[in-house]
């Protein structure tokens, strides 16, 4: 028997506004779903923290989302996905479905990018965890991956959005030799789609940019559909929480979801 009900919310979390790129894609594909979003702005950025620290934050957020009766917890952050997905799945057990943002991209690469040379940019945690590298090797599809940690980018996007201040950073990171002669580039940090147009422009629109948002939303839809847990009675309600109130988060939610949002401060006590 399925212990969950379709009208229970989908819980989504990230260190800040990054996961909104995924939340936005989910709302577009599944407008009936109720969404609870948690941005751990008090602990941002995650990408420079140790895996153990990210795991501790992720467990607290998962507990918070469970208390709010989420049927699914989506780790909409690559740093937390690579550090804490296995742990959170074990911790949550059958209380909710747990999904990450890595596996949907691995499936996409398996289906469409065999024998290609793929670049990846992400946080230090995401790149040094080697999770993408290992999962891609396991596919045995002759996909050659080169990864670059673009450490300061997520914090800069959190602060400046898609503004001009980002241009210099992108120039510095994207001109790295690691990113030469690729077939496609994976944006392996959920903050990066916010500056996708700038990244595409840097490569003169000649590089294929893999923005995971829609792929992840599609995977969420399929999983809920398979489990007969799609909410058919809309419209869905959206509720946003942050562990620290920041102007940039409030501004970010407005860009994605206009004014129709409820934003609450919920401190995650250490
Ligand atoms: N958006 C996140 C990610 O996908 C986190 C960035 C950060 O907080 O460093 O990795």
Q: What's the average pLDDT block by block, 10 residues per block, for the chain (270 residues)?
A: 88 97 97 97 97 98 98 98 98 97 98 98 98 98 98 95 96 98 98 98 98 98 98 92 91 80 84
The answer to whether residues 243 and 172 belong to one domain is no
Q: Whose CA is nearest to atom 9 of ligand 1?
A: 47
**CB of 125 closer than 8 Å to CB of 83:** yes
Alpha-carbon gap, residue 253 to 247, rounded angstroms: 10
Look at the chain and report how many structural domains it folds into.
2
Quick one: pLDDT at residue 270?
Answer: 64
90 burial type by CB count under 10 A (0-12 exposed, 13-18 middle, 19+ buried): exposed
Domain for residue 4, yes or no? Answer: no
Residue 131 structural domain? 103-212
Q: Give the three-state DSSP class for 142.
A: coil
The answer to whether residues 245 and 222 belong to one domain is yes
Quick one: pLDDT at residue 114?
Answer: 98
| List of residues 6+ apart from 84 with CB closer than 8 A | 51, 54, 55, 58, 59, 75
Quick one: pLDDT at residue 259?
Answer: 62
Quick one: pLDDT at residue 2?
Answer: 66
Nearest CA-CA partner of 109 in 68, 144, 65, 157: 144
Which residue among 120, 189, 210, 268 is the active-site one?
189
Backbone phi and psi for residue 73, each to the nearest 5 degrees, phi listed first: -115, 120
The answer to whether residues 147 and 202 belong to one domain is yes
Give the pocket of ligand 1 (CB within 6 Å).
Answer: 14-15, 18, 44-47, 77-79, 123, 126, 154, 189-191
* Residue 70 is among the residues annotated as catalytic for this protein: no
Q: Residue 157 has which token pair?
A: 């996007």
Tell me the CATH number at 189.
3.40.50.1860
Atom of ligand 1 minimally distant from the CA of 101: 4
Centre of ligand 1 from the C-alpha of residue 191, in Å: 6
User: What pLDDT, in 10s, does the model give residues 179-194?
Assistant: 999 999 999 999 999 9
Domain for residue 270, yes or no? Answer: no
pTM of the model: 0.97
Quick one: pLDDT at residue 252?
Answer: 86
Burial 201-231 (b: 16+ CB within 10 A, else e): ebeeeebebbbbbbbbbbbbbebbeeeebbb
Domain for residue 229, yes or no? Answer: yes
Centre of ligand 1 from the C-alpha of residue 153, in Å: 9
Domain for residue 88, yes or no? Answer: yes
What region, left, alpha or beta, does residue 147 occupy, with left being phi > 0 and alpha being psi -120 to 50 degrees?
beta
Q: Residue 23 has which token pair?
A: 């939340």
């Amino acid at each position: 028997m399925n212990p969950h009900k379709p009208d229970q919310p989908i819980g989504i979390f990230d260190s800040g506004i990054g996961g909104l790129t995924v939340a936005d894609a989910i709302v577009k594909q599944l407008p009936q779903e109720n969404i609870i979003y948690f941005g751990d702005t008090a602990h941002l950025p995650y990408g420079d923290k140790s895996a153990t620290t990210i795991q501790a934050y992720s467990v607290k957020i998962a507990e918070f989302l469970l208390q709010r009766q989420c049927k699914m917890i989506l780790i909409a952050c690559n740093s937390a996905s690579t550090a804490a997905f296995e742990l959170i799945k074990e911790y949550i057990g059958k209380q909710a479905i747990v999904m990450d943002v890595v596996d949907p991209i691995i499936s996409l690469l398996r289906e469409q990018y065999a024998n290609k040379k793929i670049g990846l940019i992400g946080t230090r945690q995401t790149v040094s965890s080697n999770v993408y590298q290992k999962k891609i090797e396991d596919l045995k599809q002759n996909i050659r991956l080169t990864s670059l940690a673009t450490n300061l980018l997520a914090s800069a996007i959190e602060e400046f959005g898609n503004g001009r201040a980002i241009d210099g950073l992108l120039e510095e990171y994207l001109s790295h030799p690691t990113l030469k002669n690729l077939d496609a580039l994976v944006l392996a940090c959920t903050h990066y789609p916010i500056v996708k147009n700038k990244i595409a422009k840097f490569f003169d629109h000649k590089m294929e940019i893999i923005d995971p948002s829609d792929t992840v939303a599609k995977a969420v839809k399929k999983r809920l559909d398979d489990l007969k847990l799609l909410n058919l009675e809309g419209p869905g309600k959206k509720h946003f929480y942050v562990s620290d109130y920041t102007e940039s988060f409030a501004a970010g939610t407005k860009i994605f979801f206009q004014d129709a949002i409820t934003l609450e401060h919920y401190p995650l006590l250490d």
